[in-house]
Structure 1
């Protein structure tokens, strides 16, 4: 079978995934599995199809499984104990009501590190309305600043499923990705904040809505220092571990080697899990088991989808079309623009940032050597470029768009004008930051 025919089949398989997930609304795992199997049967008839599917699925789950589970546990504890609300209230008390939008953005950024953007917005939407009422700031501003701050870290950093799965497919350094993803999420969130403030400058957005959702009283909230521990400590440990790994401490003292060990993402997040349990009022085995059971139920579907993404990626890699496309694209000089454009197109077409970045990683990984991005630094920059692309654009085919619109009580038309346009700004600004950084370190 010629490479052109195989290339056509790969493109057709991507279109089929878009149609199945966005038009027919078929489950993401089912879509990825069906398309992977069909592509393997048609393009790889002489190879061990079942072995390829199993290897792609298994390797991906092995690389990100513990991270997904531990992240889900931390998120569940913060949700059930109102730890996220405690963080938000503390930040508001420090910034003052005049800076309520900034407080909401910072809160969303911190809470979004372990919690998925959909869940984070549902948890904090009531707080957004209270902040709006107290500070006399338009709900449109508060709600969309919260939504975009959550969105920035969701698209760029593990333990979120898209970035985790893609890092497994590309074999990127997850610890460094967490650090860099968090850093690059800052200009993404800041650009969205400025864009929203500018978009909502007219009197049209000055109306405020009454508070409809009950939120916990401040007396009922857990201490803020306990709420921050499971978020901040793992990040600091991972940053330290990544730095020590770069410095090569194999012949150093036991203390430094110990820091490098606990700085591995799996160990750091496990420590975060133990710290999160301090938030529980009742620390009996039954209470802890209820939290663990709830978290594992949430983690299961994520593991299944990310594993399916790895399976699809290996099938594409085995076809050889990625290397062929890399040779062709090398002549264009587009470099990091390639993963960004692919992820942007897929995100806008089918709505899911997770599916967009996983599919893009599957396409891009065979191209890395020919694009000059096969080094550790190149892989990290590729990951960040895909993360930026997976922000573009959240609109009516994205479930998160509807979560933001419905839980804030803001009309879809206004959400399209302000929130959707803000996600496009975030994508472009983030990619420009990644591209400028590549000029100095790649």
Structure 2
């Protein structure tokens, strides 16, 4: 019982230090790792060794993937590729299904682009479509936000799910994480769209920001600001080619050797390595550079990507250090035997992630921290197989989107850019993320009945 109380105190420390004391999550997780080492009576000489080894091991492989994915996202964001993606979806679906169109646009754009940035980029497009289709701006805002949120939480190369996969030992199975993540994310995107449709015919008084509201002109100006937009192939290739390579590499590595074992197998195995696949994606993203001095433009985008990735790398590494300390304590055996007797399986990581997300606001911190906590317990929970680990990432992801409210930066991005009163944002956006999280967990549980 003392072991569990120490763990509860550690979680409370992480939450309080990041919310009330405004301590950066990197320092909060690092401090929690030291506190855990002393509280669980790990030999003093082993604490620092364990922390540094845990920090280095998680970043040794996943770190490069996070940086490359972030740089690709920056290039796509700055080149107008997100606008091209959106316009391609509109051409395919037409304007008959407004919220479906916005959900799919968000679902696709947030694979390479952070959900906060994606919402800012696509806000004018969303307003223009809402005015043109004569539907509620609130419905379109929620559909876009939940579509973005879905892939942001479940699908690599977004940093959160990559870090969770690394903590759970899925470095070599990222293709499987992507494949399952795309399915679960689609379920949650449709769940968000379903909730958004509740507002589609409602007349809602939005807050006045003092500026004339001309959505069509806003979008036209935004589109023009990017100059000549990239083609659909140029826009989609830097993210979907790496995903395809990673998935093919995972298929080639199956024990049954479905793609043979010769040169083709070796080539796919190399190109399907996430680092190499994302380098291919980065090369394709370079076709989007359009200034006169492409080398300087590329350098600036890389520098911006590295700056954006740095906090995520530190949080991920600190989460790995925290998890490494927990692994050398008797906590895993005790909690595992207790939880396995309860038979809650996948619901345990979901509940922990949801509690962390709701308390401290960051989806990435919830994914990193929960995966570090759960890693030592997989055997006792009956999830210590490749698919069990993949589904654990999905369960943590479902919890890490439950719920987005006032302590989450994404909540304020959606609220401010859509001009929703906060009370309405709680009913529309926060409840949508609750429904998404529950839908994601149910989808994960149903998949576990078939795949485990």
Shorter-chain TM range is over 0.9
Structure 1 segment 403-422 matched on structure 2, within 5 A = 403-422=413-432
Distance 1:42 1:331, change over 3 A: closer
* Corresponding residue for residue 100 of structure 2: 102
Whether 1:278 aligns to 2:287 is yes
TM-score by length of 1: 0.94
Matching residue within 342, 346, 355 for 1:332 = 342
Matching residue within 164, 170, 174 for 2:162 = 164
Structure 1 segment 44-63 matched on structure 2, within 5 A = 44-47=41-44, 48-63=46-61
Structure 1 segment 65-80 matched on structure 2, within 5 A = 65-80=63-78
Secondary structure class of the residue paired with 2:407 = coil
Matching residue within 288, 291, 297 for 2:298 = 288
Matching residue within 22, 25, 28 for 2:22 = 25
RMSD: 2.0
Moved more, 266-275 or 252-261: 252-261
Structure 1 segment 133-152 matched on structure 2, within 5 A = 133-152=131-150
* Corresponding residue for residue 196 of structure 2: 196
- Superposed CA deviations along residues 392-433 of structure 1, whole A, max 9, x for unmatched, are 111111111011111222221111101111111111111111
Matching residue within 224, 229, 232 for 1:224 = 232
Shift of 1:375: 0.8
Distance in 2 (CA, whole Å) between partners of 1:19 and 1:403 is 23
Structure 1 segment 311-326 matched on structure 2, within 5 A = 311-326=321-336
Q: In 2, are the aligned partners of 1:110 and 1:231 still within 8 Å (CA)?
A: no
Secondary structure class of the residue paired with 2:342 = coil
Shift of 1:120: 1.4
Whether 1:374 aligns to 2:371 is no
* Corresponding residue for residue 319 of structure 2: 309
Shift of 1:257: 2.4
Number of aligned positions between the proteins: 439
Distance in 1 (CA, whole Å) between partners of 2:58 and 2:321 is 8
Q: In 1, are the aligned partners of 2:99 and 2:196 still within 8 Å (CA)?
A: no
Secondary structure class of the residue paired with 1:44 = coil
* Corresponding residue for residue 424 of structure 1: 434
Matching residue within 294, 298, 309 for 1:299 = 309
Shift of 1:201: 4.0
Q: In 1, are the aligned partners of 2:238 and 2:281 still within 8 Å (CA)?
A: yes
Moved more, 255-264 or 268-277: 255-264
Q: In 2, are the aligned partners of 1:237 and 1:262 still within 8 Å (CA)?
A: yes
For structure 1, the 5+ residue unaligned runs are: none
Distance in 2 (CA, whole Å) between partners of 1:403 and 1:323 is 42
Secondary structure class of the residue paired with 2:223 = coil
Whether 1:235 aligns to 2:233 is no
For structure 2, the 5+ residue unaligned runs are: none
Distance in 2 (CA, whole Å) between partners of 1:194 and 1:383 is 24
Distance in 2 (CA, whole Å) between partners of 1:161 and 1:434 is 20
- Superposed CA deviations along residues 348-405 of structure 1, whole A, max 9, x for unmatched, are 1211111112221122111111111101111111111111111111111111101111
Q: In 2, are the aligned partners of 1:165 and 1:306 still within 8 Å (CA)?
A: yes
- Superposed CA deviations along residues 279-321 of structure 1, whole A, max 9, x for unmatched, are 1113632222111111111111111111011111111222221
Whether 1:438 aligns to 2:445 is no
**Post-superposition, which runs of at least 4 consecutive aligned residues in structure 1 deviate over 4 A?**
205-209
TM-score by length of 2: 0.92
- Superposed CA deviations along residues 175-209 of structure 1, whole A, max 9, x for unmatched, are 21112111210011011101110244433479995
* Corresponding residue for residue 178 of structure 2: 178
Distance in 1 (CA, whole Å) between partners of 2:28 and 2:146 is 28
